[in-house]
Amino acid sequence: MPKKTEKKESTIKNKDKKFNLNKSLVILYILCFFIALASALPTYINSNFLSSFVSLQTISIFFVIANLFSFFLILTFPKIIKTVKDSTVFKALLVVYILSLFFFSTATSAWQSLLGLIFFVVFSSLLFIKLDLYLEKFTDNFSTGRVRTIYFTFYNLGLFLAPSISGLLVDNYNYSFVYWVAGLIVIPALIFFSINENFIEKKIEYKKEGVIKEFKKMIKNKDLRGVFVIAFILQLFYSTVVVYIPVYLHQYLGFGWEALGPIFSLMLLPFILIEIPAGNLADKYFGEKEMLIIGLVIMSISLFLFYYVSVSILWIWAIILFLSRIGAALIEAMRESYFFKLVDAEDIDMINIFRVTRPLAFILGPAAGILILAFLPLPYLFLFMAAIVLLSLTFVLPMKDTK
């Protein structure tokens, strides 16, 4: 674990340095876009596709199972990374991910769809962790906020385009065709990486502490503990809205995919418009803490509106969804900037602990959904999440800002 104080002092001392993109970063941004687009295409149709085989409660169980696999494989992933060449690992992940998407497209039964979901969740998670490590190799600490938010803007550009494309594919073909197209999109990423791998192959001596030792360090450190909780809360929000909002709007409120595709794309605009300016502000002026607080408040308000609003009026839901992603975009940008000012690429175990928040949230979120839906209507799940998001402020307030 790097010395946090030294990294923060370096951030302050170098805040006025000129930030320049290099070829390695541009390559990683392009790879991120293709992989994000391929991953996002099925994301908002997964629940509805699975509902053709199983009930809503069983869909929640499927997501729990898939993310349990992801959780344990992420924790063992550092052992592979420390022993196998980076480019070999990344190419293998891309190939297996392509095959897993093609497999998912052929699902005709509940068990096959469960296996497809497991492959989809596991390998998309591992690919983005590998991109994380590549990116950190070429990031100077003074530019962490800008490097990370540009990266996430490319990531979110893929997410922004995906819902409209998915909606068109579902309307004109079927759900299965979406997974087939997603697999085809990863192929150019594999070719592009193979051509340019020498530009991003940089030897790193990974630290040997191990996940358990790093987890104990994280628990004792209020800054790392706080950003870990925030990362978990953000993923818990995603696990709720990605799994249940499409089902709620489509099956409960009666919106068709010709309407849902465009408004899901519209709601993702804040990730493209907000994150780079937020990263600049965090690097140069404010630090991350204030914007984290603002993002959490906005997110909790939007979740309350998910619970309270039950009208089938498209423009109202477009505004609510857009508001929710303003909060999420601020939290996502500040989470990345804050955490990666505290760690380096060598700290692979700490990075893996940080990224395990996603499968952990996608285990606990649907599990909570199963319990709540057994006794209460679906909107109460959003009210529960609003309360959880507000409570997370207690972990942000003690964190030391990096300004």
Nearest to 77 by CA among 86, 144, 184: 86
Q: How far apart are CA 264 and CA 44, in angstroms?
A: 9
pLDDT attached to residue 11: 43
Percent share of the chain, pLDDT over 90: 23
pLDDT attached to residue 192: 92
Percent share of the chain, pLDDT over 70: 89
Nearest to 164 by CA among 44, 244, 245: 44
Give 110-127 pLDDT, tens digit per residue: 888 889 889 988 998 889
Residue-averaged pLDDT of the chain? 82
Cβ neighbours around 81 below 10 Å, total:
19
Q: Among the listed ranges 15-19, 151-155, 200-204, 227-231, which one has the minimum average pLDDT value?
A: 15-19
Cβ neighbours around 374 below 10 Å, total:
8
pLDDT band of 18, cuts 50, 70, 90: low
Tell me which residue has tokens 């984290």: 292
Full set of structural domains in the chain with CATH: 21-396 (1.20.1250.20)
Q: How far apart are CA 328 and CA 317, in angstroms?
A: 16
Q: Which residues contact 26 (CB under 8 A, 6 or more apart)?
A: none
pLDDT band of 232, cuts 50, 70, 90: very high
Q: Which residues contact 8 (CB under 8 A, 6 or more apart)?
A: 341, 400, 402
Rounded to an integer, the average pLDDT of 294-301 is 94
pLDDT attached to residue 76: 81
**Residue 2: pLDDT over 50:** no
Does residue 35 or residue 137 have the better pLDDT? 35
Tell me the DSSP string of 86-132: HHHHHHHHHHHHHHHHHHHHT--SHHHHHHHHHHHHHHHHHHHHHHH
Q: How far apart are CA 177 and CA 186, in angstroms?
A: 15
Q: Report the interhelical angle of 348-355 vs 110-137 (nearest 10°).
A: 140
**Residue 15: pLDDT over 70:** no
The C-alpha angle with vertex 196 and arms to 190 and 198, in degrees rounded to 5, equals 120
pLDDT band of 16, cuts 50, 70, 90: very low
pLDDT attached to residue 400: 83
pLDDT band of 298, cuts 50, 70, 90: very high
- Contact between 138 and 146 (Cβ < 8 Å): no
Residue type, 349: D
Q: How far apart are CA 345 and CA 364, in angstroms?
A: 28
Tell me the DSSP string of 273-288: HHHHHHHHHHHHTS-S
**Cβ burial, residue 205 (10 Å; 0-12/13-18/19+):** exposed
pLDDT attached to residue 303: 93
For the record, the structure tokens of 249 come out as 């709007």
- The alpha-helical segments, DSSP class H, found in 248-313 are 257-267, 269-284, 289-308
Cβ neighbours around 139 below 10 Å, total:
20
Give 382-402 pLDDT, tens digit per residue: 999 999 999 999 998 888 876
Exposure pattern of 277-303 as b/e (b: 16+ CB <10 Å)?
A: ebbbbbbeebbbbbbbbbbbebbbbbb
pTM of the predicted structure, to 2 decimals: 0.77
Q: Among the listed ranges 1-5, 21-25, 161-165, which one has the minimum average pLDDT value?
A: 1-5
Give 43-86 pLDDT, tens digit per residue: 877 877 888 888 777 887 888 898 889 888 888 887 777 777 77
Q: How far apart are CA 23 and CA 21, in angstroms?
A: 7
Does residue 3 or residue 256 have the better pLDDT? 256
**Residue 14: pLDDT over 80:** no
pLDDT attached to residue 143: 66
